Amino acid sequence: MTQLPETTTCKLGLVIDLDTCVGCHACVISCKGWNTENYGAPLSDQDPYGAAPSGTFLNRVHSYEVQPETGPAQLIHFPKSCLHCEDAPCVTVCPTGASYKRTEDGIVLVNETDCIGCGLCAWACPYGARELDAAEGVMKKCTLCVDRIYNENLPEEDREPACVRTCPAGARHFGDLGDPESAVSQLVADRGGMDLMPEQGTKPVNKYLPPRPKDGWQGEVDVLAPWLAPVAEEPRGFLGWLDRTLEKL
């Protein structure tokens, strides 16, 4: 079994703003594209244009309708990928040592040459963040685009995960969550960032920012009301002249 490092130099991870995410799936597409064309073996698809398409994705977006105590229901978009947990059960359960956590940045990766596709890591992960690539026969997961963030051949602004670089709403943030002075740590502190399923004891590095309360809600709103409002009692100008003229007919 693989051992987890006692400490890591830093804790690279994502902060996802559930109040800002619009569920456009741009992060899903960019993740699929980058990881298919670059790191490791391609993320395969099976029968993509058939009756039962399936494929391997490292990032997915789930949407839920939430009914608050007051006001209308809200649609919440929930992106999910590997959370690069400090106490990652997917690592300690791996029988070949293929799954491991890096000491230099805390990223959890899979050495695909050692992976036998047994699926134990998928069973151990409480977040469903691992997928078996049916074509390759190995487990796949988010790498935080490790081949981008350290790539000096890329412009500095591109040295971040593809999902973060692509998000049009700015709902995804990347940085060192082990540094309390980092921008992502400050964002978590200011907005009350939360762990996903903290009761599992995995200590996920990635954090979620909760949706902000919708202030000023006054009950049901008729969106057509402005267009159906009554006109002035005494029309003026051309409309006033036309109204008086029609009354004489």
CATH code where residue 49 lies = 3.30.70.20
Q: Which two tokens stand for residue 60?
A: 């997915």
Domain that holds residue 161: 12-209
Which regions of the chain does DSSP assign to beta strands (E)?
Answer: 12-17, 45-46, 54-55, 60-66, 74-80, 99-101, 108-110, 131-133, 138-140, 172-176, 207-209
pLDDT of residue 220: 47
Which residues is 61 bridged to in the sheet?
A: 79
d(CA 162, CA 38): 12
CB 122, CB 131: distance < 8 Å: yes
Number of folded domains that form the chain: 1
d(CA 41, CA 112): 8
Residue at 248 is within a domain = no
pLDDT of residue 21: 96
d(CA 207, CA 156): 24
d(CA 220, CA 218): 7
pTM: 0.82
Residue at 135 is within a domain = yes
pLDDT of residue 206: 97
d(CA 181, CA 208): 18
Task: Chunk the chain into consecutive blocks of 10 residues (it has 249) and report each block's average pLDDT, rounded to whole numbers.
Answer: 88 96 96 84 90 94 86 88 97 96 97 95 96 94 95 95 97 97 97 95 96 61 46 55 63
Q: What are phi and psi of 66, to 5 degrees?
A: -115, 130
d(CA 184, CA 86): 17
d(CA 137, CA 228): 61
